[in-house]
């Protein structure tokens, strides 16, 4: 299934530029006209399934952006032109007379479903950008039952009841309030009931702590300046937290029914001119999937930005009525104007700052395919003013009460990966690189799969030396804030939220002196302090004391594979940082050499000799990065973003989208949680059930798998 799904995504995402003749029944003469770059994917994606196979056969490597164009034969051009006429560019579904859907043909001769144009809420053609003088107007109370059942956005609205109030009241065009304190109240929400089997003390089940010294036995006469202990944390699944006596099968059965922390989510969406056509349609479809998977206790607000930014609607509960109104608001936006990422982010932060009530989990999702064209930010560089685009209230810092993580998603070849990565790092979120826009929904699905499964908040890991002669030398915690006391006796790592079944690994280095007579040395103890997102009660749990044996004479002992595995992860991440710095200086050969040297070092480790899965994944990832540095062009369009999304994943130990890394067959998904995988599966099943994908599957599954 994984490889087939990968082929579907690669084929849908073919970045081909086609010269299409205007046919006699088309509109004009027979001259060839190049399509604008923003529409290339649209026309490739809208070709009928019979033509996809020919396009896929010409594809032998990973799709990379190219300025080359494909001149289609007249027969194929005519077919694709005809197909384009039979496909609604708003919902991407087929248009056919007599199937119960009215067809609207605009003055520019482009045709759409009548209900799609009626809900489009603008007078600009989404295909050719010409301005319409007249558009159909739908009554606010019109039953949406005739909307296409196969469109993600329309499918949800089709199954939702029609509310009695004005459906358009949330996105009426008018002045915005000065203060966004009109979020929907949570007062009337019922208290989430706990299971009858809930334990009074969940400290033994919510977080599991394991520790691994690099060796269990060390000669008494030896001293160590850098003795490493691995601290491994794992959060329990939600059902198991409520009832730890459940078997694995029962946990899986009850997982979806178990109480979870509701979410306040703000999505900040790029609707600049470059998003016109299929990009915007796919973004709307992905938002439809997101809205469908939010519960009635979750609240959503949507910010749309181009040259300016606007709040489409305030934080509203995603009840049946809330979902329907959110869908209609999202479906009403059009693509136009420049890209003002800073203003979109400012409005998203303002929604969070001004809200009168708060759900336990809060997050912002930012999606953009371009570069900030308004605030004078130099793209794709280590520009010092990147931080100025992030509002103070959502920055990661000492005041954690107002920290809101921003999970950024840059898609396509023109987005500013350095900017998006900086925003996520400053706020404590992750950066994902969506190589082809057909993966937008999968990337969002993976992200919300985690956000809807938070089981631990405000987690702090405290490390304490248990021997007066010992002291800490360092804490390796990636992007998590860490601190070692002045006397070296204690250390602190600020982790924050954990998703259900999520893991964290930290390396603690200590200075171990020689022993004169003792047969063992006590090293350290680990304590976790955290908050339950549902009850807000603070809980703590401790590990046992880490000890090593100290015989007079000890044989050669191999380093613990658990410790070696995490050392390799940090080595790989350090190599990525160094390679990226070298590449930005223009030395791609030097950057590739850095990655190759890292691969050689990792190949000689204990993990490599045992064919450890993480080593295999790191090796494959480093090779992929090398291939994305073969030329300056390739690095600019995909290499930089791929490396930054990889760094984001490893530094936070959280899954991100990298290229096609949400594919189930990918080796680099070391941080995916079961909730993420489940949401991804739903997303892929949701898309694969669409008739527009069936022909593609039939023509592709028998073909060799592209790189």
Question: What would the DSSP string read from start to end of 585-641?
Answer: TT-HHHHHHHHHHHHHHHHTSHHHHTT-HHHHHHHHHHHHHHHTTSSHHHIIIIIHH
What's the pTM value of the predicted model, to 2 decimals?
A: 0.75
What pLDDT was estimated at residue 333? 93
Pairwise CA distance, residues 300 & 266, whole Å: 6
Confidence band of 624 (pLDDT split at 50, 70, 90): very high
| Structure confidence by residue, pLDDT tens digits, 238-264 | 644 444 444 444 444 434 445 789 999
Tokens of 271: 């609707």
Query: Where is average pLDDT lowest: 115-129, 219-233, 555-569, 589-603?
Result: 115-129
What pLDDT was estimated at residue 305? 95
Cα-based distances in Å from 150 to 153, 289, 595: 9, 12, 45
Cα-based distances in Å from 422 to 144, 244, 365, 406, 641: 41, 40, 14, 10, 12
Pairwise CA distance, residues 96 & 80, whole Å: 16
> Does the structure show a pLDDT above 80 at 419?
yes
Tokens of 188: 């009337």
| Average pLDDT over every residue of 179-202 | 59
**DSSP three-state, residue 192:** coil
What pLDDT was estimated at residue 355? 95
Pairwise CA distance, residues 151 & 92, whole Å: 8
Pairwise CA distance, residues 568 & 611, whole Å: 13
| Structure confidence by residue, pLDDT tens digits, 553-569 | 877 778 999 999 999 99
- Phi and psi at residue 584, to the nearest 5°: -65, -25
What pLDDT was estimated at residue 135? 64
| Average pLDDT over every residue of 259-275 | 93
> Does the structure show a pLDDT above 60 at 69?
no
Residue with tokens 């053609």: 125
Residues, the chain, total? 707
The CATH architecture annotation of domain 207-237+456-559 reads Sandwich (2.60)
| Structure confidence by residue, pLDDT tens digits, 507-547 | 999 999 988 878 889 999 999 999 999 889 999 999 999 99
Pairwise CA distance, residues 344 & 64, whole Å: 29
| Structure confidence by residue, pLDDT tens digits, 83-136 | 444 667 666 566 766 566 778 788 787 887 777 766 555 567 766 667 777 666
Q: What angle do CA 447, 448, 451 make, to 5 degrees?
A: 100
**DSSP three-state, residue 517:** coil
Contact 228, 563 (CB under 8 A): yes
What pLDDT was estimated at residue 195? 34
Strands (E), 500-587: 503-512, 520-531, 538-542, 546-549
| Average pLDDT over every residue of 35-53 | 34
What percent of the chain stands above pLDDT 70?
Answer: 65
What pLDDT was estimated at residue 238? 65
More confident residue, 579 or 171: 579
More confident residue, 375 or 206: 206
CATH code of the region 263-378+386-453: 3.40.50.410
What pLDDT was estimated at residue 4? 56
| Structure confidence by residue, pLDDT tens digits, 443-494 | 999 999 999 999 999 999 999 999 998 999 999 999 999 999 999 999 999 9
Pairwise CA distance, residues 114 & 625, whole Å: 46
Question: Chain-wide mean pLDDT for the chain?
Answer: 76
By CB neighbour count within 10 A (0-12 exposed, 13-18 middle, 19+ buried), where does 134 fall?
exposed
Query: Where is average pLDDT lowest: 51-60, 248-257, 634-643, 690-699?
Result: 51-60
Bridge partners of 529, per DSSP, are 460, 540
Query: Pick from 44, 49, 43: which is nearest to 690 by CA?
Result: 49
Pairwise CA distance, residues 694 & 274, whole Å: 28
Contact 579, 595 (CB under 8 A): yes
Tokens of 466: 């248990």
Pairwise CA distance, residues 105 & 92, whole Å: 16
Tokens of 35: 């399509």
What pLDDT was estimated at residue 347? 95
> Does the structure show a pLDDT above 60 at 177?
yes
| Structure confidence by residue, pLDDT tens digits, 351-409 | 999 999 999 999 999 999 877 776 666 655 554 567 777 887 777 654 445 579 999 99
Residue with tokens 């991440």: 573
What pLDDT was estimated at residue 83? 41
| Structure confidence by residue, pLDDT tens digits, 288-337 | 999 999 999 999 999 999 999 999 999 999 999 999 999 999 999 999 99
What pLDDT was estimated at residue 86? 66
> Does the structure show a pLDDT above 60 at 178?
yes
């Amino acid at each position: 299934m994984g490889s087939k799904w990968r082929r579907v995504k690669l084929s849908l995402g073919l970045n081909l530029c086609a010269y299409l003749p205007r046919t006699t029944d088309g509109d004009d003469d027979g001259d060839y006209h190049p399509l604008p770059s923003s529409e290339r994917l649209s026309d490739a994606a809208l070709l009928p399934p019979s033509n996809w196979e020919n396009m896929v056969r010409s594809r032998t490597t990973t799709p990379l952006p190219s300025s080359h164009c494909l001149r289609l034969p007249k027969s194929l051009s005519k077919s694709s032109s005809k197909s384009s006429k039979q496909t609604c560019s708003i919902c991407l579904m087929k248009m056919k007379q007599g199937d119960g859907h009215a067809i609207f043909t605009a003055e520019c001769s482009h045709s759409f479903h009548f209900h799609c144009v009626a809900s489009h809420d603008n007078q600009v053609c989404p295909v050719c950008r010409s301005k319409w003088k007249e558009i159909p107007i739908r009554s606010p109370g019109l039953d949406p039952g005739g909307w296409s059942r196969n469109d993600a956005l329309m499918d949800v609205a089709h199954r939702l009841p029609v509310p009695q109030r004005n459906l358009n009241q949330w996105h009426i065009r008018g002045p915005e309030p000065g203060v966004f304190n009109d979020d929907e109240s949570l007062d009337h929400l019922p208290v989430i009931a706990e299971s009858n089997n809930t334990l009074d003390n969940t400290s033994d089940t919510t977080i599991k702590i394991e520790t691994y010294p690099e060796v269990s036995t060390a000669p008494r006469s030896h001293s160590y300046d850098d003795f490493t202990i691995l601290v491994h944390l794992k959060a329990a699944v939600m059902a198991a937290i409520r009832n730890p006596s459940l078997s694995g099968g029962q946990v899986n059965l009850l997982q979806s029914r178990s109480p979870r922390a509701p979410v306040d989510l703000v999505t900040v969406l790029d609707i600049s001119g470059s998003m016109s056509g299929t990009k915007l349609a796919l973004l709307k479809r992905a938002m439809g999937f997101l809205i469908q998977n939010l519960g009635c206790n979750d609240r959503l607000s949507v910010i749309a930005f181009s040259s300016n930014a606007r709040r489409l609607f305030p934080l509203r509960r995603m009840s049946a009525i809330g979902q329907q109104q959110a869908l209609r608001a999202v479906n009403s936006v059009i693509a136009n104007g420049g890209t003002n990422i800073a203003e979109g982010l400012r409005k998203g932060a303002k929604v969070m700052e001004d809200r009168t009530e708060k759900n336990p989990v809060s997050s912002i999702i930012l999606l953009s395919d371009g570069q900030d064209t308004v605030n004078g930010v130099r793209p794709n560089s280590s520009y010092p003013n990147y931080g100025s685009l992030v509002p103070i209230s959502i920055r990661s810092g000492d005041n954690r009460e107002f920290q809101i993580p921003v999970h950024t998603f840059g898609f396509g070849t023109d987005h500013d990966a350095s900017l998006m990565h900086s925003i996520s790092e400053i706020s404590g979120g992750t950066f994902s690189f969506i190589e082809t826009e057909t993966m937008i929904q999968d990337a969002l699905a993976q992200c919300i799969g985690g956000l809807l499964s938070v089981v631990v908040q405000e987690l702090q890991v405290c490390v304490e030396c248990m021997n007066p002669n010992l002291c800490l030398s360092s804490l390796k915690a990636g992007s998590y804030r860490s601190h070692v006391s002045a006397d070296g006796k204690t250390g602190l790592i600020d982790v924050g939220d954990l998703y259900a079944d999520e893991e964290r690994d930290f390396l603690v280095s200590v200075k171990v002196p020689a022993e004169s007579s003792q047969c063992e040395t006590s090293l350290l103890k680990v304590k976790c302090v955290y908050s339950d997102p549902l009850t807000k009660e603070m809980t703590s749990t401790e590990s046992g004391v880490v000890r090593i044996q100290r015989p007079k004479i000890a044989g050669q002992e191999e380093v613990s594979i658990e410790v070696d595995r995490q050392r390799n992860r940090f080595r790989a991440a350090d190599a990525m940082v160094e390679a990226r710095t070298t590449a930005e200086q223009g030395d791609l050969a030097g950057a590739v050499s850095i990655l190759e040297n890292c691969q050689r070092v990792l190949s000689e480790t204990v993990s490599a000799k045992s064919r450890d899965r993480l080593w295999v994944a790191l090796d494959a990832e480093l090779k992929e990065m090398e291939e994305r540095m073969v030329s300056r062009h390739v690095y600019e369009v995909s290499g930089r973003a791929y490396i930054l999304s990889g760094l984001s994943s490893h530094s936070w130990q959280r899954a991100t989208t990298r290229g096609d890394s949400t594919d189930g067959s990918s080796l680099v998904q070391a941080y995916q949680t079961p909730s993420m995988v489940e949401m991804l599966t739903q997303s892929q099943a949701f898309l694969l059930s669409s008739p527009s994908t069936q022909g593609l599957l039939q023509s592709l599954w028998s073909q060799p798998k592209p790189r």
